[in-house]
Structure 1
Amino acid sequence: MQWLARICVQRPVLASVIVLVFVVVGLIGYTRLPVDRFPKVDFPTVAITTRLNGATPKEVETQITDKIEEAVNTVSGIDELRSVSSEGISQVIVVFLLEKNVDVAAQEIRDRVNRIIVDLPDDADPPIVEKLDPDASPILNVALTADRPAREITEYADKVLRRQLESVPGVGQATLLGGRKRQINVWMDPVRLRSFNLTAIDVQKALRSQNVQIPAGTVKDAASQEGLRVLGKAASVAELRQMVVREKDGGLVRLGDVARVDDGEEEPQTAARRNGVPSVVISLRKQSGENTIKVVDAVQERLTEVKKMLPAGYSINVVRDNSLVIRTSTHAVQEHLILGGGFAARIVLLFLGNTRATVIAALSIPTSIIAAFGVMWAQDVTLNQISLVALALAVGIVIDDAIIVVENIVHHMEEKGENAHDAAINGTREIGLAVMATTLSLLAVFVPVAFLSGIVGMFLKSFGLTMAFAIAVSLLISFTLVPSLAARMLGRRRKSWIERALDRVVNVFYRPIEAIYMIMLRFSMRHRWVIILACFGALASLPTLMGIVQKSFMPPTEEAEFIVNIRVPEGTTLASTDLLGERVARSIRALPGVESTLLTIGDNDQRVPNLAGIYVRLTDPDTRTA
């Protein structure tokens, strides 16, 4: 690397171009990096969902779940197999080993399930096999409230608001909770059915065969052709009442003669309450791999436009925003990164006492950090807590090589009387091997972190890659940009009054530190075996200390929110679960520091009526009194 330093001193443009290439790529990568709370981790998990309307949990288990479990149990690489059989729905979750490719696993599961479809009940829906993507979790909940019937609010939420939000770039799915859609209900009278010698099956067949709209071919002439359709669907409730169920004794038995038909609403399958008020909530999920903050900002902009067109009496409120935690955590780490860089530069200025030397050394911090964004982009690493912590830690490391090179160049100029050009070449060559050895030892520590196995390895991959590349770029900068700038900026000159003042300040507290260090050094050299035994004693104490230190996968943090999950006994109705959940939510709202609650029931693919979730939003920790 010494030859590279000599070339860069002689050709400063080359040094600038080498560094600018990394900086430009890093800046481009930074603009395209997705922001998330944690690294993207793909857990190879496949879900198989099958519906059998009207079946009890026991029937679902024996007729569907057991057969699916038996079929998929032969797939290789399964780590865990579990299932949930509830009323009308079977869900089998297959968790594979981390080494298993999730696409291959899903295809193998799909093949096994296709083989036993003929063994499932005839009226069961075809099983749905899908990969579970943790990255596609809900990011935003929007509540629509109004002093209107639930059906009217649901119609607006489904036909207008949901479609507006689903068209936002990055939004993958919008799910309605607490709504009741329009539904034409046919209430059959058993007495009148018996009087006409009819059954409910007869009415069902009549509705299926007559309330249809089917293609009837094509009408052609010499110049054109038109499609022909048979319009048999009822356009109103009145037309539906006139539908003929049977012809009897020369008379027609119409639907209105044996049933009451009304324009009503469907039975509720989900429920949602914001602070106790029934609401229609739209749960938004992002597309896999999208930037959470960017998607939320785009949705917020669209909501601002939608609010201007809301009907009178309607209101829209964001009741849950998962990007807030991401913003808070990433902003905190970014703030520490900037402060760390500033303090590192000030410490260097304090000890070197040379403003130009400080500028040269401090340039390695932003260039190395920015260049690291390029490899993060290339390796599909997100800006998350783990990668940002790596960058914050790298701030104090990437400047080390530059400090050593600059200090040695200044030493050659002041102690050996060399000019800046020769000092840049000779000083870099003299300590080049030591700088390279130091950097390679750091790389030997952080590179293996990127290749750890298991879930921990997936989380720390971004940490190892970010640290390793930032350190490698700092080595390149110390052999290219640093000697090139030193040869032109560190010419012989009188020290300014600021630099002379810094020298006096440094001497005030550095001399006592140096004196204490010299005492410790003399003791160590005279009692070498004591130092060696102390080192071995420290190493021997590691197992004991590791057992004492508390351990956790993630440190505890203040997120100003939490979720309460409630599961009541099987068979509990939605109304009963809603009543019990609201009692719990009311008790939580009475606690100090609670800002709002959001109760949701049936917020899953199975629409389980006995499972409720209460999202609790707390006040800001800075303003919280208790």
Structure 2
Amino acid sequence: MNFTDIFIRRPVLAIVLSLLLLVTGLKAFDGLPLRQYPEITFPAINVTTVYPGASAALIKGFVTTPILNVLGSAEGVDYLTATSTDGMSTITIFLTPDYDVDSAFLEVSAKVNKVRSELPKASENPLVAKMEGMGSDTLQYISFVSDVMTQEQITDYLTKVVLPEISTIEGMGQAEIRGKRSFAMRVWLNSDRMASLGVSTQDVEQALAQNNYLSAAGKIEGAYVTFSVSAETDLSSVSDFEQIVIRSDAHALIRLGDVARVELGAEHYRDVIRYGGKRTVFIKTQAAARANPVEVAGNVREALPQLREQLPPELTMELVFDTTFAIERSIDEVVKTLLEASVIVVLVILIFLGNLRSVLIPVVTIPLSLIGVMLLMLMMGFSINLLTLLAMVLAIGLVVDDAIVVLENIQRHIEEGASTMQASLIGAREIAFPVVAMTLTLAAVYGPVGFLGGLTGALFTEFAFTLAAAVIVSGVVALTLSPMMCSRILKTEEESGRFASGVNSVLEALTQLYLRALNEAIKMRWLTVLFCGIILTCIYFLYDSIHQELAPQEDDGVVIVTGTGPIDANASYMEKYVAQAEAAVAGVEERERSFFWVSDNNVFSLVMLEPWEDRERSAKDIQDALLADLNSVTGLQLYTYNMPSLPGSTGGLPLQYVLTATVSDELLFQVASTIREQAMASGMFTYVSQDLKFNKPELKLSINRSMAGELGVSMEAIGQTLASYLGEANSGRFSVDNRSYKVIAQADGPFRYNPESLSNYHVEAMTGEMVPLSTFVSMEIKSSPNKLSQFQQLNATYIGAMLAPGVSMGEAVKFMDELSEKNLPEGFDHDYMGQSRQFLEEGNVLLATFGFSFLLIYLVLAAQFESFRDPIIVLISVPMSVCGALIPLAVGMSTLNIYSQIGLITLIGLISKHGILIVDFANNLQEREGLTIREAAKRAAAVRLRPILMTTAAMVFGVLPLLMASGAGAESRFSIGLVITAGMSIGTVFTLFAVPVLYTFFARDRREHDNSATRLPS
């Protein structure tokens, strides 16, 4: 007895197994988290060191480089970047995907602590921080605006009240204030008054340290009572600081208020965020690395009404930006596509089968397979995300295939005169091997994808295993439930309705037409083989002509604006021209809201667009039009781009070229300028920027050491004086309401307005006399670098570019590689970051997987057929299908990207199922009926025509909603749908002729008895 007989004869057993699949799948559904992408972390670690007043060159030489030297040997490092700017060193360690960021954090912290003693004493302790986001780590921006409260007051309120509450929301990784102005006691020094009163900056610093002292006085322990002692040795108000005595003599007391203007101000005045035409302060939220961002964002939205009730009446709160809106819309679109595909597949099956009773048999496998696979997803730790949902969309056309094949074979036996029960028993036995072979073949296709590393593996492991699991579940259902349902539901041909009879007549006529064409192809079989050879040759030329990119640009409903102003621009300059940029953005008809964030001379803006259904233009069209409008803002250099299509990108322009060398930064700048100019002149880019510029005015002071020595002025005194007047060094801390704030002493605005102000600074000589700097210092204005970058510990500069319309990432990278080969001197090298780095690392990894999947399927088929020749016949349809899939890509309907490559891999399993049906049946005809190879090939192709057409139609029409997709995530769905539709449609036509013809060449004559190859039904 064959195992399929058990389920036909025991229908309750078959039903119970199916119900178990359904119930456990529904239970597992509740436990599956909802995400945009599979759980991926792209860990990185930031090391930030502040050195107030230091130049970029000093930071690089004495802060950045020593730290980089010890970090180069850290474990799990993919690559290192470093940027040295005035007053700050920033080092980013990018770790390999999914590397344990906690262990890396501990190692980096230990190495940084070890090198701390080598850093300048005046520099602050390096701050080591983890980044565990998926590329863009922003979850939400929440705005706080007031017409009454200052930015400092808003920042202080948020720090004390709002931030702690948001930080404790379940799943919250980090919440931080952006555009903040933290309170600080600003001591604005009057250099003229200090000189006339004989007060040096060292006197001020010493007075601040001695008179604002936070004491831990201890406690008094008596016989029975213990008293804690607190001494008010610290200061907390402006008047307290103004009364600090700097010097006392017989004539008068010199207080801090005599030589400085003291106010409760802000630590810095560099950051400004404008939203709705007003200055605002944001709270930025970020989900924890392993948390579900959709759930976390929902938790935040639920908490906002309660937070709003607690706010002062003069403070307004608004959720400005939420990345999960696009995530939820994307998932909604895929779910909609899933339902549409299900309806279409049912209609296709109905048309082919002609009656509702027959349709029920394959259709029931759809919910059983899609729901049943959720238990396996839960066991493997998967989630419901865009890619697993996409796998289910594709699975709809696949899971019905096995049931269709079982149904059609049983129906054929009924038409040949067998009873329903007899036909079910014989038909299920005959088709069991092909069903197992097709199921294992298709599941094997995705095995290599599931074990890929890097971004591709992280993204598509869940996709691959979900689809493979759904196919396996459908195979089980097809061999257990489907035969049983056939034995109870199907009718004999005499009982069939008129529509079913009409469908059978049409298919019979089509079969006869196909047989005549096949006869001609077999007669001219060498011409058919030649045609197959031509197809194989065409694949190379088609592939070579296709635009390549990592992923198609999606419409996430957001346009990003970023740029810079002149390096010496102040806050007033930036706000003036940002107002012009705001006006340009406000002119975008599809704009829903936007904000601008100004930090020093940098500009960043998010333009949130109306929902997809409410606008005609795509985000890319709006981006291009907005860029043209922003070009009229002459005071700023602005550019626009869309959100990255895949997680893990560092953001910024699509092409990020890194030029590295061990030469001086000046020579590096010259070579980079040549590369940038030629890139812009190529016409392949609409915008090309270079980060290294020698356009920052620097006042170089030359000190006459001899004269300074004669006057008794030390270099330390000169350096401390300049740092106190011009830097923003921390001069201590003060407390208000048990919270600590900085004290910052600095020259008041009029006394550091221009280079001539330095001439009036006085330094205290060893004699106590105040000596003006102009006595022994000469000044010269020079151009210095705006910042100094390093990549993998080498001197580096970055060139970013926006691709021109019609230019793919593959073409851009190829052009830059060729440009580098022609123009880079010896000792120079280049690399990539951002999306371009992702493209190089991940862009072609799936093509290698395609070859491995092809080989794996060949071995699986060889084991199943017990033959090394039969799999060749089966798999000849694969290149035919691939050729068909590449045609629409070659004419520009889409690109070769990570999604279309997944479609190509899917085609291996899909199209090979047709060959399995024909070859297996032809082998059986030889063995059981003694037909010749040629007759067996023709009859097998004719008999299997109907299930081949049905499964092809179910798959092609099932992915039709992907081709008609719109809204969030539509481009990626279109890419995979286009490849499968074209590949299956064209490939099936080729298969119906190529496989039978090649069978006549390569098949073994099986008419003699051969135990190793015979498979008779029980």
Q: Which of 167-176 and 149-158 deviates more? A: 149-158
Shift of 1:386: 2.6
- Counterparts of 2:200 and 2:21, CA distance in 1: 78
- The answer on whether the counterparts of 2:415 and 2:493 sit within 8 Å (CA) in structure 1 is no
For residue 346 of structure 1, what is the aligned residue in structure 2? Answer: 347
5 Å-filtered alignment, 1:547-558, equals 547-558=544-555
- Counterparts of 1:71 and 1:470, CA distance in 2: 49
5 Å-filtered alignment, 1:576-615, equals 576-602=573-599, 609-615=600-606
- The answer on whether the counterparts of 1:178 and 1:270 sit within 8 Å (CA) in structure 2 is yes
1:532-587 Cα deviation digits (max 9, x unpaired):
22222211211101112222221233333211221345454344334333322322
Shift of 1:2: 4.5
5 Å-filtered alignment, 1:249-398, equals 255-256=256-257, 259-398=260-399
**Structure 1 pair 532–492 and aligned structure 2 pair: CA distance change class (3 A):** closer
Query: Is the partner of 1:288 in helix, strand or coil?
Result: coil
Q: Specify the code of the residue in structure 1 equivalent to 2:317.
A: I
Query: Is the partner of 2:497 in helix, strand or coil?
Result: helix
For residue 605 of structure 1, what is the aligned residue in structure 2? Answer: none
Shift of 1:53: 2.2
Query: Is the partner of 1:518 in helix, strand or coil?
Result: helix
Alignment RMSD: 3.4
2:449 corresponds to 1:449:
yes
1:264-321 Cα deviation digits (max 9, x unpaired):
4443232111243222222211111322222222222222333345443543332222
Shift of 1:177: 2.3
**Structure 1 pair 550–384 and aligned structure 2 pair: CA distance change class (3 A):** farther
Q: Which of 146-155 and 541-550 deviates more? A: 146-155
Q: Specify the code of the residue in structure 1 equivalent to 2:523.
A: R
- Counterparts of 1:344 and 1:216, CA distance in 2: 81
- Counterparts of 2:125 and 2:10, CA distance in 1: 70
For residue 475 of structure 1, what is the aligned residue in structure 2? Answer: 475
**Structure 1 pair 520–284 and aligned structure 2 pair: CA distance change class (3 A):** same
2:536 corresponds to 1:535:
no
Shift of 1:392: 0.8
Shift of 1:75: 4.4
Aligned residues: 615
**Structure 1 pair 577–525 and aligned structure 2 pair: CA distance change class (3 A):** same
Shift of 1:619: 3.0
5 Å-filtered alignment, 1:206-217, equals 206-217=207-218
Shift of 1:90: 0.7
Stretches of structure 1 lacking an aligned partner (at least 5 in a row): 603-608
For residue 37 of structure 1, what is the aligned residue in structure 2? Answer: 36
Query: Is the partner of 1:612 in helix, strand or coil?
Result: strand
5 Å-filtered alignment, 1:73-92, equals 73-75=72-74, 79-92=78-91
Query: Is the partner of 2:52 in helix, strand or coil?
Result: coil
1:91-146 Cα deviation digits (max 9, x unpaired):
12334556966555555544443332221112223323344323371111122222
**Structure 1 pair 475–142 and aligned structure 2 pair: CA distance change class (3 A):** same
Q: Specify the code of the residue in structure 1 equivalent to 2:162.
A: L
Shift of 1:436: 0.4
Shift of 1:428: 2.1
- Counterparts of 1:132 and 1:406, CA distance in 2: 54
Q: Which of 536-545 and 254-263 deviates more? A: 254-263
Query: Is the partner of 1:229 in helix, strand or coil?
Result: coil
- Counterparts of 1:442 and 1:206, CA distance in 2: 79
**Structure 1 pair 618–444 and aligned structure 2 pair: CA distance change class (3 A):** same
5 Å-filtered alignment, 1:142-221, equals 142-148=142-148, 149-189=150-190, 198-220=199-221
**Structure 1 pair 327–76 and aligned structure 2 pair: CA distance change class (3 A):** closer
For residue 116 of structure 1, what is the aligned residue in structure 2? Answer: 115
TM-score by length of 1: 0.87
**Structure 1 pair 392–621 and aligned structure 2 pair: CA distance change class (3 A):** same
**Structure 1 pair 100–463 and aligned structure 2 pair: CA distance change class (3 A):** same
Q: Specify the code of the residue in structure 2 equivalent to 1:81.
A: L
Shift of 1:615: 1.0
Shift of 1:209: 4.4
Q: Specify the code of the residue in structure 1 equivalent to 2:71.
A: V
Q: Which of 521-530 and 405-414 deviates more? A: 405-414
- The answer on whether the counterparts of 1:179 and 1:268 sit within 8 Å (CA) in structure 2 is no
- Counterparts of 1:30 and 1:202, CA distance in 2: 70
- Counterparts of 2:108 and 2:168, CA distance in 1: 32
- Counterparts of 1:526 and 1:457, CA distance in 2: 47
- The answer on whether the counterparts of 1:37 and 1:325 sit within 8 Å (CA) in structure 2 is no
- Counterparts of 1:486 and 1:611, CA distance in 2: 70
Shift of 1:227: 4.2
- Counterparts of 1:100 and 1:623, CA distance in 2: 42
1:131-175 Cα deviation digits (max 9, x unpaired):
432337111112222212333333443333333433322222222
- Counterparts of 2:508 and 2:583, CA distance in 1: 65
- The answer on whether the counterparts of 1:582 and 1:599 sit within 8 Å (CA) in structure 2 is no
For residue 606 of structure 1, what is the aligned residue in structure 2? Answer: none
- Counterparts of 1:286 and 1:556, CA distance in 2: 25
For residue 58 of structure 1, what is the aligned residue in structure 2? Answer: 57
Query: Is the partner of 1:408 in helix, strand or coil?
Result: helix
Identity of aligned residues (%): 28
**Structure 1 pair 119–509 and aligned structure 2 pair: CA distance change class (3 A):** same
Q: Which of 27-36 and 341-350 deviates more? A: 27-36
Q: Specify the code of the residue in structure 1 equivalent to 2:181.
A: R
- Counterparts of 1:599 and 1:140, CA distance in 2: 15
For residue 27 of structure 1, what is the aligned residue in structure 2? Answer: 26
Query: Is the partner of 1:622 in helix, strand or coil?
Result: helix
- The answer on whether the counterparts of 1:157 and 1:280 sit within 8 Å (CA) in structure 2 is no
- The answer on whether the counterparts of 2:203 and 2:246 sit within 8 Å (CA) in structure 1 is yes
- The answer on whether the counterparts of 2:42 and 2:98 sit within 8 Å (CA) in structure 1 is no
- The answer on whether the counterparts of 1:154 and 1:280 sit within 8 Å (CA) in structure 2 is yes
Shift of 1:9: 4.0
**Structure 1 pair 362–322 and aligned structure 2 pair: CA distance change class (3 A):** same
**Structure 1 pair 21–249 and aligned structure 2 pair: CA distance change class (3 A):** farther
- Counterparts of 1:423 and 1:208, CA distance in 2: 98
**Structure 1 pair 385–492 and aligned structure 2 pair: CA distance change class (3 A):** same
**Structure 1 pair 462–194 and aligned structure 2 pair: CA distance change class (3 A):** same
- The answer on whether the counterparts of 1:405 and 1:478 sit within 8 Å (CA) in structure 2 is yes
Q: Specify the code of the residue in structure 1 equivalent to 2:113.
A: N
**Structure 1 pair 191–591 and aligned structure 2 pair: CA distance change class (3 A):** closer
**Structure 1 pair 169–216 and aligned structure 2 pair: CA distance change class (3 A):** same
Shift of 1:365: 1.2
- Counterparts of 1:516 and 1:158, CA distance in 2: 79
Q: Which of 297-306 and 240-249 deviates more? A: 240-249
- The answer on whether the counterparts of 2:41 and 2:289 sit within 8 Å (CA) in structure 1 is no
- Counterparts of 2:424 and 2:462, CA distance in 1: 35
Q: Specify the code of the residue in structure 2 equivalent to 1:566.
A: G
- Counterparts of 1:342 and 1:390, CA distance in 2: 17
- Counterparts of 2:111 and 2:387, CA distance in 1: 39
For residue 428 of structure 1, what is the aligned residue in structure 2? Answer: 428
- Counterparts of 2:230 and 2:11, CA distance in 1: 78
**Structure 1 pair 110–523 and aligned structure 2 pair: CA distance change class (3 A):** farther
TM-score by length of 2: 0.55
